[in-house]
Amino acid sequence: MVVLATLVVVMLAGCSDGSDSEPSATSAVAEPTSSATAEPENQSQTVEDLLFVIESRIELIRGIESPGPVHHRFVDQAGMQNRLAEEFADPEIVEQLVKESALLKLLGVIPQGSNLTAIYESMLGSQVLGLYDPEKEQLYVLGDDASGADSIDTEAQLTYAHEYVHRLQDARFDLEALEDLATGDDMSFAISALIEGDATTAQTQYMLAKHDLTELAALLESALAAQDELPDAPPFLQTSLEFPYVEGAAFVGILNQMGKSAAIDAVFNDLPKSTEQILHPEKYFDKEEPVILDIPDAAMGDEWTVQAENVMGEFMLKTWLETLGSVEATAAAAGWGGDAYAVFENDSGDFALGVVIAWDTDDDAREFIVSLSEAMGDRDEYLSRSSGLPGVMEAWGGPGGYMVISRVDSGDLGDIVKIAITPDSANSHGLIWTLGTQ
């Protein structure tokens, strides 16, 4: 889906001076075995010939044998948008987007009156180049194959290579079963980073083996031009869209250097538990798993019910800080130990949010809350409602409501950070008192 970042990485890798410096995450290229019989090079190459070449190379790069023919379709922009519309019409997706919309509006990262589904449809409709449907075992690519192999341009070929990796992953690991193993949204996002990072890394290796720097430079120029024409999108959502491809590729690139396909397969069989493990691979290898926290269903009182509860994770907290304008977001979110959030709703249709976050050290907790406070202080839409104690407890009025942030000693877990966002001061202070007492 996101080709631009991949191309930039490829160009940087290709421009390496060949010194003995540490290789980039995606610069190592698998050496395919001889493919003289599998790669016809003639002017009358058919679509089937071309796709067979791509599939054969990807199978060699990824180390997974062909699971048999895959049902594929090349579609135009309207066809891809129709396919995406089918996804958004799925009742499970509809319910998920309702919950996500409430959370993101409380955090103030999308406009309060916006339609999240419409935002996603606009973003993805202009950025998705291909997709693989594991339920139907179908592969879709934005492109034209009506005039034969010559009409399938480089971008479509690279997209096919990426999506074909998903076909191989599905055959070996069952992608739907992998998603079912996620214990929360943060782990699900980490699994997506593994899946997309694997496909992006293999796609990058294919690019480097198949195309020279001149061809890649032309493709990059085209991708940059297309980027300028993309519709505006909330930065939080754009960064979230890119995460599985960019950070996932960096994570898988390390695995590739360690042991190529065998090392990648091992992680598919022992999944990452958090986005923290993707952002800090050493924490995956050290098996540093998230602390499990909980927020009482009755935390907001009898008039409120829980609309959604889940885990934010390090990546989401980091991206929230970045969206607020924090220049210390990466460092401030590092040291995350685990969290829980709950979105509450009352009969009037009001929403409230409670978050409790555990940290590796007390210093990590303080660094996060100070960075959050400073970021809000620099934005006009956040107004201080209480001088409080900086780094300990403060209150702000913001797009999502009345926000109280607090850092307290929880005992066994050390300092934790609590965040409450509700329609008014009384509810926010009441919720902040209740959080972390379970």
pLDDT of residue 22: 34
Query: 290 and 311 in contact (C-beta within 8 Å)?
Result: yes
Q: Is the confidence at residue 24, as pLDDT, over 50?
A: no
End residue of a domain, out of 241, 256, 285: 285
Say if residue 179 is in the same domain as residue 319: no
Residue at 296 is within a domain: no
The torsion region of residue 313 among left (phi > 0), alpha (psi -120 to 50) and beta comes to: left
Q: How far apart are CA 376 and CA 378, in angstroms?
A: 5
pLDDT at 229 over 80: no
Q: How far is CA 110 from CA 126, 238, 399, in A?
A: 19, 11, 9
**What's the whole-number average pLDDT of the chain?**
87
Q: What percent of the chain has pLDDT over 70?
A: 87
272 close to 288: Cβ distance less than 8 angstroms: no
| 272 and 378 housed in the same domain | no
| pLDDT tens per residue, range 74-84 | 999 899 999 99
Least confident of 229-238, 281-290, 341-350: 229-238
| Distance (Å, whole) CA 295 – CA 293 | 7
Instruction: Express each pLDDT in 413-434 by its tens digit.
Output: 999 999 999 999 999 999 999 9
Instruction: Answer whether residue 291 is part of any domain.
Output: no
On the question of pLDDT at 230 being above 90, the answer is no
Stretch 358-385: mean pLDDT: 95
User: Which pLDDT score is estimated for 232?
Assistant: 81
User: Does residue 363 lie within any of the structural domains?
Assistant: yes
| Residue 185 predicted with pLDDT over 70 | yes
User: Which is more confident, 195 or 231?
Assistant: 195
Kindly write down the DSSP assignment for every residue of 107-165, as one continuous string.
HTSS-TT--HHHHHHHHHHHH--EEEETTTTEEEEES--TT-GGGS-HHHHHHHHHHHH
Least confident of 154-168, 201-215, 279-293, 404-418: 201-215
Phi then psi for 67, rounded to 5 degrees? -85, 5
360 pLDDT higher than 50: yes
In a domain, 298, yes or no: no
Nearest residue to 107 via CA among 234, 274, 292, 295: 234
* 3-class DSSP assignment, residue 225: helix
Phi-psi region of 63 (alpha: psi -120 to 50; beta: other; left: phi over 0): left
154 and 279 within one domain: yes
Q: How confident is residue 17, by pLDDT bands cut at 50, 70 and 90?
A: very low
Task: Say if residue 116 is in the same domain as residue 197.
Answer: yes
Per-residue pLDDT, 33: 35
Based on the domain organization, do 80 and 127 belong to the same domain? yes
Please tell me the distance from the alpha carbon of residue 237 to that of residue 120, in angstroms, as a whole number. 8
Within-domain flag for 199: yes
Q: Which residue has the higher pLDDT, 78 or 37?
A: 78
Q: How far apart are alpha carbons 310 and 185 in whole angstroms? A: 6
> Could you tell me the pLDDT band of residue 150, with boundaries at 50, 70 and 90?
confident
Do 240 and 388 fall within a single domain?
Answer: no
Q: Using DSSP bridges, classify how beta strands 138-142 and 71-75 pair: parallel, antiparallel or unpaired.
A: parallel
Least confident span in 229-233, 384-388, 392-396: 229-233
pLDDT at 226: 61
**Co-location of 171 and 251 in the same domain:** yes
244 and 136 share one domain: yes
Q: Which pLDDT belongs to residue 23?
A: 31
- At residue 1, the pLDDT reads 41
Q: Examine the pLDDT at 10 and tell me if it is beyond 50.
A: no
For the chain, what is the largest distance between any 2 Cα atoms, rounded to a whole number of angstroms? 75
Residue 6: band (very low, low, confident or very high) from pLDDT cuts 50, 70, 90: very low
For residue 404, the cross-strand partners are 395, 420
| C-alpha gyration radius of the chain | 23
The overall pTM is greater than 0.95: no
Task: Name the pLDDT band for 13 (thresholds 50, 70, 90).
Answer: very low
In this structure, the answer to whether residues 262 and 382 fall within a common structural domain is no
Nearest to 61 by CA among 161, 175, 173: 161
Give pLDDT, residue 312. 98
297 lies in some domain = no
Identify the domain containing residue 317 by its residue range.
Answer: 304-434
Is the predicted pLDDT of residue 115 greater than 90, yes or no?
A: yes
Q: Residue 36's pLDDT band (boundaries 50, 70, 90)?
A: very low
The count of domains in the chain is 2
* Pairs from 321-324 (Cβ < 8 Å, separation ≥ 24): 321/371, 321/372, 321/375, 322/235, 322/239, 323/109, 323/234, 323/235, 323/236, 323/239, 324/372, 324/375, 324/376, 324/378, 324/379
In this structure, are 316 and 396 located in the same domain? yes
Comparing 14-23, 64-73, 271-280, 397-406, the range with the smallest average pLDDT is 14-23
Domain boundary among 285, 316, 349: 285
The owner of tokens 């050496």 is 31
- Please compute the mean of the pLDDT values over residues 13-32 and round it to a whole number: 34
Residue 169: inside a domain: yes
**Same structural domain, 194 and 322:** no
Is the pLDDT at 7 greater than 80? The verdict is no
Domain boundary among 257, 285, 313: 285
The answer to whether residue 94 sits within a structural domain is yes
Mean pLDDT, rounded, for 166-193: 97
**Confidence (pLDDT) at 266:** 98
Query: Does residue 35 surpass a pLDDT of 90?
Result: no
> For the purposes of burial, counting CB atoms within 10 Å of the CB of 158, is it exposed (0-12), middle (13-18) or buried (19 or more)?
buried
Do 33 and 102 reside in the same domain of the chain? Answer: yes
Determine the Cα–Cα distance for residues 416 and 406; give it in Å rounded to an integer: 8
342: nearest Cα among 237, 436, 243, 424: 436
